Structure 1
């Protein structure tokens, strides 16, 4: 099963918000502090009752999710998940729920009919409902959201809750507030005992061997039957699992490039574990001596890979909710983290929040939600809708600066080598064609779009004032030529900076034949298009190719040599 969308209703300051998960794409919640980003992440986490806190604290937690302004609220908080059924659900996997009483046994036929329905639809909506009465939380329940008769059956609530246990796990990460403890105690009577990190280490043992656990490991040091050699053997195997997982999945990430090895050691006398880190130069450090960035990644690895109560390997693509990651690291580390997140979304769904300009993935901008708080109510607006109402004229990305209240200055130059295009569509095409021509070469420049050929003056003025190394590319049609002459004359620029397409009277989409456009459309959308490809479809094609490596590799095979040669000449002329 795969999470595709979350609908949040009546949760703290949220009236109603949709968050869509897009395959292999980062989902960004962007907004200032206190705008409501964390509230959205916590609501998604709350969907899964496995994330609930201990029963004796649960009511207090539920009270915090009620709308603060309505102290006597009778309005239920609701979180609805849309789940894609990638493999047919089998009723035999849920056989245990029919053994909980005679009513359950009588419902099997109805459940079979319901399974047939959702397997046919290949989609399922489950809602968690937390009711309130006079401001006090009542017993929560799950329900199916559909028009099938079984959804109204009381037994459906039992089945819905059981299904959540088979859904992908959802894990929330809160910046650096939950760092790896220097000592992970194994005795619950110790004041420094941390149940979360105990579970993580216990999960590491379990991942090594299902028979392994912290308690069984401690028995090997029993006074009556002391087996230190066996204990050492177990710990060596556990460390092998830790470093194997670390190397296989995480070594390539920038945040851990200086970590050569990690080691878990056990101190028998005081009953605690300790984690040490060995750098590439052979120096060994404790977790309190390493950089915050490296420790964040190590903590992230251990939580996602080894947390035993989350261990549902066959449940599908997990969802990581990452709140303000690395916001206290320097800008380069933050930008590297974006690259790392892109690697993670190959087999996970990542929703992260930030108010940092360095943690924005511009090539993922279409899956960015702008989060704002207005009169206590949290609003979420997808980027494509947000820019329609924004009145900024400088550039397609200027609203990002507006959202974050960024004021550029001489100390923060956002680019060292840049190309300015007429609009977003031109940018997407150039990014894709650069990858086609230079698949083995790292892109050492940025491309950022304006809003039209005639509307770049303010943006160009900024770059002149910042002394940026930039060039401008315009269409070679009448409008593009007029804009070139205007910028050269009014801003005292030369033709090497303000250029037009080398082929006369062309827009960039004219570099492709109609056959190529239709072939690319078929690759991207997996269906034929008989009519001409319109401008919006053309832009969408290159937006997807820019983020989908597999489709880009197929696209290379349908591009003709004359088209490729045109872009070679263009990039040579631009000298990028």
Structure 2
């Protein structure tokens, strides 16, 4: 079973219904200016699962849940659409049949779902925190709440990561909360211990003989540091060889009024750093860099999540400004990590960083924009391609992202050791990126032939080696001539090019002409795309497909030679 859609109504600043559809998009960046509602959307989704209520202190998803912009008192509702099989429903109901309190109701519901697979919605009233199942035959509200909780217990977990609110306690007390559960960081630590030894319970640690404690802690420390080392290669923050994490047990005693000692038990994390002479120095995690703090928090929640499910697939990761404290190269690695996570899970994240919107990793149409209406403050969420471009002269294919983030058009990273190839559009960008081989060239897309001229001026101003390439059609030829008249004969001869004609009889050559016709059919077949799929959709689908390298091996020598010829003409 899995989540396929969330609908948010009357929750905090959201009037709604605001829909977050995760059925087809497993990786969804949400962008927008500050205070536009991005975090609120994540909090609402996180709040649907009752097991996350214990994290309210840090996530604050149960605080101020009513819409303060509305004068009428509307009920805040978070609804999730669930895809669940007939067998899964039966298994859950059969468990409830064994509960004397609900046996009759569970038996009745079993009779309603013979040979049926369901996709239905479960509502959560955030005021009462009660659930209701929206299915016409499931009419008993009290039992629906119990049944819904049993379903949610079996669903994949929903995790929330907040760079600015997440905090790691210096020492974590080993005791159950007021509801008799392990919560917060203690639940994460317990999961760490259980992964190290499946028969071990963190509550047992204080009662163990000292040597046994040391044995368990040694296993935990090895597991933790092996895990951190394995993940560290994706996030080059500083010298990992000099750092390790040490998990330790500590007992503290204090005297109460009757003169009897009260013992309290803690687990704590220390960062151990070795200096050049091999001496160890101990620090709290919070004493390290914010980048390391984020990394440790992220890996612990990622690898040792306390909510157990039958399958780890389909989990929902909600990240609020992930990697804000990481440097640029680490954010680039994080972007790749999030893409990898989305292969079997759902990843939603809010960001202001263009490094986490890398078009080579994130499909452009996956990006959503959050926006608050200035008149009634209502929050809405819409696809990036529906975003209005505020600048009169849109010059980049990524202009909507730049506008939504309120960043300058050239928060793009140009490596002075790279040559930049400026092309007309996003399809050119994807095609030349896929077929450039090992050439050290960055492909920069405009939004049409005329937009290339803007980027030429920037390349000249910054002293960057570049080439400008237009389609060999009347529009491209005119734009090239206009650019030559503006920038002069030297640039025109050395830097400006049209796509070469395959033969002298052709009157025009555009990107599609570089591909052999059979290759496009092969790509459609390999990616299971309909026969009438447009050329643009085929190229973009291939670029973001996990099968890209496999499919490119099947592309004909003719197509590869066509691109090779273009790069040779460009002297790249």
Equivalent residue for 2:563, pick from 545, 564, 567? 567
| Cα distance change on mapping 1:273 and 1:141 into 2, 3 Å | closer
Distance 2:487 2:326 in 1: 38
Following TM superposition, by how much is the alpha carbon of 1:167 offset from its aligned partner in structure 2, in angstroms? 1.0
How many pairs align?
534
What's the TM-score, normalizing by structure 1? Answer: 0.83
State the 1:382 CA deviation. 0.7
Q: Deviations over 1:243-284 (max 9, x none)?
A: 343355x24312567435433122345743332345798766
State the SS of the aligned residue for 1:372.
Answer: strand
Please give the alpha-carbon distance, in whole angstroms, between the structure 2 residues aligned to 1:39 and 1:490: 49
> How far, CA to CA, are the matches of 1:159 and 1:106 in structure 2?
10
Partner residue of 1:349?
Answer: 346
Query: Cα–Cα, structure 1 residues 64 and 188, in superposed 2: closer, same or farther, change >3 Å?
Result: same
Pairing 1:547–2:544 present = yes
Match of 2:425 in 1: 423
- C-alpha displacement at 1:42, in angstroms? 0.3
- Checking the alignment, whether the CA contact within 8 Å between 2:86 and 2:114 is kept in structure 1 is no
Pair 1:67–1:241, CA change in 2 (3 A): same
| Mean Cα deviation higher: 480-489 or 84-93 | 84-93
Report if aligned partners of 1:167, 1:315 keep a CA contact under 8 Å in 2.
Answer: no
Contact 2:85 2:117 in 1 (8 A): no
Residue aligning to 2:80: 81
- Residue 68 of structure 1 deviates from its aligned partner by 0.3
Query: Matches of 2:270 and 2:569 in 1, distance apart?
Result: 53
CA contact (8 A) 2:96 2:102 kept: no
Q: 1:251 to 1:44 in 2, by over 3 A?
A: same
Aligned to 2:130: 141
When residues 277 and 341 of structure 1 are mapped into structure 2, their CA distance, relative to the original with a 3 A threshold, is farther
Q: CA offsets, 1:411-436, max 9 Å, x none?
A: x66323432211111112222223xx
| Structure 1 alignment gaps of length 5 or more | 131-136, 221-226
SS of 1:229's equivalent in the other structure is helix
Partner of 2:511: 508
Change (3 A) 1:427 1:302: same
SS of corresponding position for 2:343: coil
Seen in structure 2, the aligned counterparts of structure 1 residues 61 and 328 have a Cα distance that, compared at 3 Å, is closer
Does the 8 Å contact 2:467/2:495 carry over to 1?
yes
Q: CA deviation at 1:112?
A: 5.1
Superposed, 1:8-27 pairs within 5 Å as: 8-14=8-14, 15-21=16-22, 26-27=27-28
Partner Cα distance (2:492, 2:232) in 1:
47
Q: Give per-residue Cα distances to partners, 1:310-364, cap 9 Å, x unaligned.
A: 2325263211111112324443443333233223333432211112333322231
Distance in 1 separating the partners of 2:535 and 2:83 = 28
Does the Cα contact within 8 Å between 1:78 and 1:128 map onto a contact in 2? yes
- The root-mean-square deviation of aligned C-alpha atoms, in Å, is 3.2
Aligned to 1:556: 552
2:299 maps to which residue?
A: 301
Q: Secondary structure at the match of 2:150?
A: helix
Unaligned runs of 5+ in 2: 254-264, 503-507
1:223 maps to what in 2?
none
Given that 1:392 and 1:398 are in contact with CA atoms closer than 8 Å, whether structure 2 keeps it comes out as: no
Instruction: Label 1:477 to 1:17 Cα distance change in 2 as closer, same or farther (>3 A).
Output: same
Number of the residue aligned with 1:275: 269
Aligned residues of 2:466 and 2:495 also touching (Cα < 8 A): yes
Q: Which residue of 2 aligns with 1:196?
A: 184
- Name the counterpart of 2:30: 29
Q: Report the CA distance shift for 1:33/1:486 in structure 2 as closer, same or farther (over 3 A).
A: same
2:235 aligned residue: 254
| Residues 1:174 and 2:162 aligned together | yes
Are 1:143 and 1:151, in contact at CA under 8 Å, matched by a contact in 2? no
Q: Which residue of 1 aligns with 2:45?
A: 44
Greater shift, 87-96 or 350-359, is seen at 87-96
Matched, 1:97 2:78: no
